[in-house]
Amino acid sequence: MNLSALAGNQRIKEQLSLQERGRGLSHAYMISGPAGAGKHTLARLLAAAMLCTGPGEKPCGRCGPCVKTAKGLHPDVILVDGPGEGKPITVDQVRQLRADAYIRPNEGERKVYLLERADQMNPSAQNAMLKLLEEGPPYAAFLLLAENAGGLLETVRSRCESLALGPAEEPADGEAQRERRQAARELAGALERAGELELLEAAMVLDARRGREELSALLEALEGELGARAAQAADRRRLLRAVDLVKELRSAAKLNVNGGQLSGWLCAGMFDAR
Ligand SMILES: [Zn+2]
């Protein structure tokens, strides 16, 4: 899954990606965490992933359903909030929701309900919700947002998969570093495996870098990653060749050579080496 719009929370991202590849996404999630933790961001990403019609990783972020979901315009993504400012969802609203859930989706394969402040619903509203979680139509999915997961009845919680978001967002710099390390790992993997098409695709990451500084930082991370792999590999010839190439690229990056040229240089150098 592509959950990069959510800051931090690596464990949850891995949990969801594994699940999506395995048995598929669940029909009910409890998304908990303090204000600002990214509950709505994650809920929108999950809703988009469930409705996405694009190719590859979901949500693709580009297809019609993804764009509509991001803008809050998808008719099958329904935001349910209390009847007034700060008021929790009532039992009457849950009954209406139940009636609505039995009307088939408008556009997509699924209907996704986002329930605001589900932890503040009173017990009768929660019990009505429980019935829906147990007996709702198979195309309906429910995302219960909660600041305090303990505010939900145990019976409701047990029907939902729990996604507990970390309290604070990671600092922007830490996030950039992590992203860079990840990009370096992917490119190093492609260099090691030597599949021509894979390498051409992976090397495009150099083309997409913004600015000379970021490009240099990525190349530095890449050299480190290749060096670490070479130290452990049985056949290190390719990896050492790649390290030499990246050293050349790093010098070139200080001059007026752009990322697109560098990625071409890297691929050509590796293909020649075979
Ligand atoms: Zn999509």
Give per-residue pLDDT as tens, 19-62. Answer: 999 999 999 999 999 888 899 999 999 999 999 999 989 999 99
Ligand 1 center from residue 13 Cα (angstroms): 18
At 168 the pLDDT is 57
Ligand 1 center from residue 25 Cα (angstroms): 15
Ligand 1 center from residue 205 Cα (angstroms): 21
The runs of H, that is alpha helices, within the chain are 10-21, 39-51, 64-71, 91-101, 123-135, 154-158, 172-193, 196-207, 212-232, 237-254, 259-272
At 19 the pLDDT is 94
The Cα 59–Cα 78 span in angstroms is 18
| Model confidence band, residue 257 (pLDDT cutoffs 50, 70, 90) | confident
Q: What is the ipTM of this complex?
A: 1.00
Most distant pair of Cα atoms in the chain: their distance: 70
Ligand 1 center from residue 148 Cα (angstroms): 31
Ligand 1 center from residue 69 Cα (angstroms): 9
Ligand 1 center from residue 119 Cα (angstroms): 30
Ligand 1 center from residue 60 Cα (angstroms): 4
Model pLDDT for residues 110-148, shown as the tens digit of each residue: 999 999 999 999 999 999 999 999 999 999 999 999 999
At 208 the pLDDT is 79
pLDDT at 187 over 90: yes
Ligand 1 center from residue 26 Cα (angstroms): 18
Q: 3-class DSSP state for residue 213?
A: helix
Q: Which DSSP letter does residue 135 get?
A: H
The Cα 187–Cα 210 span in angstroms is 17
Ligand 1 center from residue 50 Cα (angstroms): 9
Q: 167 vs 193, which has greater pLDDT?
A: 193
Ligand 1 center from residue 43 Cα (angstroms): 15
Ligand 1 center from residue 164 Cα (angstroms): 25
The Cα 215–Cα 209 span in angstroms is 6
Ligand 1 center from residue 106 Cα (angstroms): 17
Write the CB contacts of 137 (distance below 8 Å, at least 6 apart in sequence): 101, 102
At 167 the pLDDT is 73
Q: Which long-range contacts (CB under 8 A, 24 or more apart) does 130-136 make?
A: 130/155, 130/156, 130/159, 131/98, 132/94, 132/97, 132/98, 132/101, 133/28, 133/159, 133/160, 134/159, 136/27, 136/98, 136/101
At 171 the pLDDT is 58
Ligand 1 center from residue 76 Cα (angstroms): 14
| Model confidence band, residue 259 (pLDDT cutoffs 50, 70, 90) | confident
Ligand 1 center from residue 70 Cα (angstroms): 10
Ligand 1 center from residue 55 Cα (angstroms): 7
Ligand 1 center from residue 221 Cα (angstroms): 31
pLDDT at 274 over 70: no
